[in-house]
Structure 1
């Protein structure tokens, strides 16, 4: 069994915090798991948008092997920035996961997909399409800086960021 499959059932962020305390940043935000994979990690791709997921589709249509899309929807849960169709697109293109400072929808379907999805909450309403947003910018979410190109590690305990890839062999 490869290392990624073995990590699916583990709590990785507590061990990473213990071993890399000075090298990780914790996102102090309670998010819900909606994807079929509760443990995921990869290189961060950032997007800032508000109630418009036009650019989400554009980003997830590109190859995403080893990457996680972090969407800052400004904490709005009035419109869903991700649904089943975009999650399937991400899965088809190899993305590891999607984190949304905002809402998701189609959560029953999301839970059946082998991709990590974390969001603040759910909303059945789709977004408007204005082609607005900013890709690959530094985000500030609950006083935590999220840089494009950083590494993100997520599990049911929370979300961590680091400037470089961490050695996962430290996980007990």
Structure 2
């Protein structure tokens, strides 16, 4: 990926901000993974303390895509670990944004994958195959829809109705 800077994208697209076609997620995420910046089309999951669907989605081809997981902001278990992150890399995913926790952060930091999460937690999830895929999700003052475009770097995470590259 060419180096996309959220600051430059915002500066160059002020009209899109006014029209709410370009939105900024509130600064709440920690940066993990060996890829400091990433961008792609959004695929969404809405789950709560059950990462069964995360495995399913990351097992699919992900070139040009970012998985956005609305985990309800739970800090009681991890929705992404090193095995799933490795699967994401092998299937070409650009990155994963988790409104919840991850685990195995040292191993994830060694992978060429961009990851944003609220924090880390050592406990794995239950497995009940419960959740929704490809639905709008909301956190950080922004609603993210499947097919929209997300860009993340050291300065933040932005969402647009169309790619800004």
Fold shared, TM-score > 0.5 on shorter chain: yes
Deviation string for 1:56-112 (max 9, x for gaps)?
Answer: 000000000000000000111111000000000000000000000000000000000
Give the CA deviation at 1:22.
3.1
1:4-19 matches, cutoff 5 A: 4=1, 6-7=2-3, 12-19=5-12
CA displacement at 1:20 relative to structure 2: 1.1
Unaligned segments of structure 1, at least 5 residues: 168-172
Matches within 5 A, 1:13-162: 13-23=6-16, 24-162=22-160
User: Does the 8 Å contact 2:69/2:96 carry over to 1?
Assistant: yes
> What SS class does the counterpart of residue 89 from structure 1 fall into?
helix
TM-score normalised per structure 2: 0.94
Q: Give the whole-Å Cα distance in 2 for the aligned partners of 1:166 and 1:139.
A: 21
Stretches of structure 2 lacking an aligned partner (at least 5 in a row): 17-21
How far is 1:29 from its partner? Answer: 3.3
Distance (Å, rounded) in 2 between the aligned partners of 1:128 and 1:29: 28
Query: Following TM superposition, where does structure 1 have runs of at least 4 consecutive aligned residues deviating by more than 2 angstroms?
Result: none
* Partner SS for 1:140: strand
Deviations 1:39-64 (A, max 9, x none): 00000000000000000000000000
- Let me know the Cα RMSD of the aligned residues: 1.0
Structure 1 stretch displaced more, 49-58 or 17-26: 17-26
